[in-house]
Structure 1
């Protein structure tokens, strides 16, 4: 049975700590760039969506402009209203 050596354990701990700090440094450098790209992409999608929606609205208003604006039909009343009294 082999036993773990102290220098090997210390080396492993140093590698883990080094990778952790390297990740932290890279994240600080790269995160603002990635976030900026994500915001630009979301803005672009939003603009495309609003342009498409505006085009659809313009198309529907040109079709509706020729027809008269009608009031919505009243809902059909089903049954009759019965008022109950309490009896002592």
Structure 2
């Protein structure tokens, strides 16, 4: 079957395309705020999960600006007395 191009068929196709374009445009204006709000809520939840895992809970008795040391460093570090051979240098004039 051979199809021939007709003006009526072309006009009908263009009207369908324009109609669908305007319907999508109107529906997007109606539903876009809900979609954006939903996407923002989901992103906030993901960010909260990632950020909350790395954050330590703040102690309730701690005042703002107060420095708190959680763990004292051990003072048992001993220097190694056997560091090598000592060489005495003399200046030559």
Instruction: Tell me the TM-score normalised to structure 1 length.
Output: 0.58
Report the CA distance between 1:49 and its aligned residue.
2.1
How many Å separate the matches in 2 of 1:51 and 1:34?
Answer: 25
Quote the residue 1:10 is aligned against.
11
How many Å separate the matches in 2 of 1:40 and 1:5?
Answer: 51
Residues 56-79 of structure 1: CA distance to partner in whole angstroms, max 9, x if unpaired? 9x9xxxxx722329xxxxxxxxxx
How many Å separate the matches in 2 of 1:34 and 1:46?
Answer: 18
Report the CA distance between 1:12 and its aligned residue.
0.8
Report the CA distance between 1:39 and its aligned residue.
0.6
Q: Could you say which structure has the larger radius of gyration? A: 2
Gaps of 5+ in 1: 59-63, 70-88
Q: How many residues align?
A: 65
Name the one with the larger helix percent: 1
What is the root-mean-square deviation in Å for CA atoms of aligned residues?
2.9
Instruction: Tell me the TM-score normalised to structure 2 length.
Output: 0.55
